[in-house]
Structures are given as structure tokens and as C-alpha cells.
Amino acid sequence: MESGSPITKADHVCLGQKLTFPAYGEDSLISNVLFITGKRGSGKSWTAGVMMEEFHRLGLQFVCFDALNAHGGIDSLPRVESLKPEIGQSIDMKSLVDRLKTTDKSLVIALGGLPLVKQQELIGDYCEALIEARLGKGIHTVIEECQDFVPQMGRPISFDPIVRLCKLGRALGYGASLVSQRPAGVNKEALSQASVYLVHNVINNRDLKTLDEQLSFGTDKRLIKKILNGIASARKGECVAYAPEFFRDRGYLVIDKVRGDRQAKHTGNNVDVRSTLGGVSHSEDEETEPFEAVTSAAELMPFARQSSSITPAPTLANETSPSALPPLSQEFRGMAKEYDVWEPSVDDYATEYDTEPLVEKKESKNTKWIPVAAVGGVSLTAGLLMVVLQGFKR
């Protein structure tokens, strides 16, 4: 990708030189379901961050459930707030969704540190509240580590609400991005709702097989297999996009590199592991951009256009301040409520999620006599057989 390429457009979500999607109207990307995948470090969270920055640039609204705390820098953008419930706290999702209806702000909810069951509960409550609210405008929900919320095995409390949002959301102007490094770990019922697949480097055989099953519909299967064989060698940021509704004139597939110019700081970094002789450290000041920049930040000018089906938020050019409304983090502070911290035990997961118990049952006291009885039965049978044979000889 050439540096300085003009890839920003007033009416398109631009993820790369060739990865562009409509921002407004009935075909808006914001009301579609996306699946973003790739092994750790391949760039999937970076891609999700680029997409959210594009939504912000275009005056569109999003909510991100950040299970990895990879998007902590996005709240530095003018119309983005963040919430971080602590252990023992919850969020009144009905009130939060009602507030989203009257604000132009987007929201990042940091879930890292909360028990998994609490994360599942929050996301489930949000999806149900969003469907019931019928906001009358476009809004996109990003769910990181989605395999924990719509898993292939088991049905946590978040499962049905997320699938329902993916199925019914488009008619309401709602869309969702499911982000995971393990396609095989995500339920196929949820994957089947995706109209856009953004696939980064994937090497696991089961994951590749899952992608093969999902991408082969209506496309040359030999081409899909060839691409999936090559995706295992993809470098950071390189992406295969499968989007039949958007790339119909290009064989449904586009291969490109996700743009590298980010306004917000990407916080999804790995720990800098060093020798214990020199100490172990992780310095955020030493962070480097994962991809080469393709355009300058000055080119990311705010655009918005009214539409009958999707209503974008006002442009920054018409605002004298980021927003006249109070910060969401202050406004929803009163919505935090205490709850009893509960951590699932081994028995809880054994009965609810697994097909086989994780804890083996204790051996019955009577089982120790089984070998003795077997030996006795064999000896008795042999004795009777000898008596019968002797009777024949006589």
C-alpha cells in the first residue's frame, strides 16, 4: 500500500485502500454483522479499532465491549466515553440504552477484570435492552473475545441475546462485530448471520476448516481453499475480506492491508518479556505502530450526511465543544449497583457447559469385588465343563 494514498471518503467506511464500505443508507456497514478473526497479534483488534475510528469520523455511533482492554485509547476521541465497572458493581443497561438514544456519544465498556459470568450478564442485558428500545438510528456493537459469549459449546446467559441482536438488528438499524481469534470456538448460528468476514492470519486446522465452511457458499471453493492456504502466511495487518453484499462485482473477495493511521492509541499490546537478569518491563512509552501509516491524521476530516434510514450524529464542525451533554462516565455513575461476587466452581461448569463432567465420580465400594466374582465364575464354568466331558468318556 502506497503511503499517502487518498483512502478517506465522505460517505464510506475506509479500512484500507480497497476495503471500503457504505457509511449511510440501507446498505450502511453499521447495520451489518461482521466477523473479525485472526490469531493473536495478527491485527484483528487493530482492525476493529480502525473501524470504530471511521464510525466516529463519519458521525456514527458505536458501543464496544472490550474484554481485553485493547481499546482503552479510543475514549481520547471527542465524542467517545468509557465505562469501567469494578468487581462488585454492575450497570443498569436499560437506562444506558435510553441515554444512548438522546446522545451522539459512543461508548467503550472495559470488561477486563470482571468475572466471566458477570461479563456475559452485562452483554446479555445490553443486547436485550437495545432490541426493546428501538432507538430509531444506526448503532454498532463491537464484542471482543466473542467466543466467550456465543461459544460453540454451551449456552451462557449472553448467547441468546447476541444471536437475537444479530438476527433482528438490521431491521432496526443495529449491527455488530464479533471479534475472536478462534473461529472454531464461535457458535455457527452466530457466524451464519455475518455478512462481512475480515480474516487475518489463521493457522489452526480446525479454524481454517470452519472458515472454509462459512466462506465457500456461492464462491469458487478451489479459490477459497487457495486463499485459506495462503492466509496462514499472512503478515500483520494483511486481511482477506469476504463480503458478498458489497464485493459482488469483485468475486465476493478482496485482499488488502488494513490502514495504519490511527488517531487513538492502541492499547492491545503484549508484555515486553526480557531476561530476568535485566528485569522484566512493559513500557507504554515504547509502543510502536503495528502498521505503516498510509495517510496523515490531518486528512481524517469529520464528515456526516443525513439519511432517511440511518441518522448520523452531528459533525464536529458544528460543535463548539465535544458535547454539551455531561460525560457518560459521570452520568451513569449512579447506575452502578452492588452485586455479590460469585466465581463459578468446577461443578458449575461441569453441569452447564461441558458434555462430560470435569470431576470424575468416586469409585463405588462394590466395584472392588467385580474381579473376584469374575474369577469365581470362570472357575465354576470350567469345573462343570470337565464333569460333562468325563461323562461322555464313560
All structural domains of the chain with their residue ranges = 12-269+283-338
Are 165 and 127 contacting, i.e. CB atoms less than 8 angstroms apart?
Answer: yes
Over 80: is that where the pLDDT of 187 sits? Answer: yes
Q: Confidence band (pLDDT; 50, 70, 90) for 253?
A: confident
Q: For residue 290, give the nearest of 232, 242, 239 by alpha carbon.
A: 239
**Mean local confidence (pLDDT), 305-331:** 42
Of 139, 174, 182, residue with least CA distance to 52? 139
Read off the pLDDT of each residue in 93-119 and give the average, rounded to a whole number.
95
What per-residue string of b and e applies to 31-66 under the rule 16 or more CB within 10 Å gives b? bbbbbbbbbebbbbbbbbbbbbbbbbbbbbbbbbbb
Of residues 393 and 292, more confidently modeled = 393
pLDDT digits (tens, 9 = 90+) for 262-279: 877 766 655 455 555 655
The per-residue pLDDT for 337 is: 56
CB atoms inside a 10 Å sphere around CB 140: 27
Longest dimension (CA), the chain: 118
Percent of the chain's residues with pLDDT above 70: 66
pLDDT of residue 221: 72
Q: What is the pLDDT of residue 304?
A: 29
Rounded to whole angstroms, the Cα distance separating 153 from 32 reads 25
pLDDT at residue 264 in the model: 73
Most confident of 35-49, 52-66, 297-311: 52-66
Residue type, 351: T
pLDDT at 9: 82
Q: Is the pLDDT of residue 177 over 90?
A: yes
Nearest in space to 144 (alpha carbons), one of 49, 39, 64: 64
Alpha-carbon 353 to chain mean position: 20
Q: What 3-state DSSP class applies to 125?
A: helix
Cell numbers for 149: 459469549
The distance of Cα 382 from the centroid of its chain, to the nearest Å, equals: 66
Q: What is the mean pLDDT of the chain?
A: 76
Average pLDDT over residues 78-104: 94
Fold of 12-269+283-338: Rossmann fold (3.40.50)
Judge whether 219 and 251 are in contact, CB under 8 Å.
Answer: yes
**How does DSSP assign 268-280, residue by residue?**
-PPP----TTT--
Strands 174-180, 33-37: parallel, antiparallel or unpaired by DSSP? parallel
Q: Burial, 100: exposed, middle or buried (Cβ in 10 Å; 0-12, 13-18, 19+)?
A: buried
d(CA 10, CA 98): 29
Residues counted in the chain = 394
Least confidently predicted of 98-112, 162-176, 230-244 = 230-244
Mean per-residue pLDDT for 73-79?
93
From CA 70, how far away is CA 290, in angstroms rounded? 13
Q: Look at residue 347 in the predicted model and tell me its pLDDT.
A: 40
pLDDT digit string, tens, across residues 342-386: 444 334 333 333 333 333 444 444 555 566 666 677 777 777 777
Lowest mean pLDDT among 71-80, 133-142, 350-359: 350-359
| pLDDT at res. 277 | 64
Instruction: Say how many C-beta atoms besides its own lie within 10 A of residue 198's C-beta.
Output: 28
Residue type, 75: D
What's the rounded Cα separation, in Å, for the pair 317 and 302?
7
Alpha-carbon span 219 to 310, nearest angstrom: 30
Say what percent of the chain tops pLDDT 90: 46
Q: How confident is the model at residue 104 (pLDDT cuts 50, 70, 90)?
A: very high
Tell me the pLDDT band of 216, cut-offs 50, 70 and 90. low
Q: Is the pTM of this model over 0.85?
A: no
Residue 65: pLDDT above 90?
yes
Write the CA distances from 391 to 254, 379, 383, integer angstroms. Answer: 87, 19, 13
Higher-pLDDT residue of 197, 393: 197
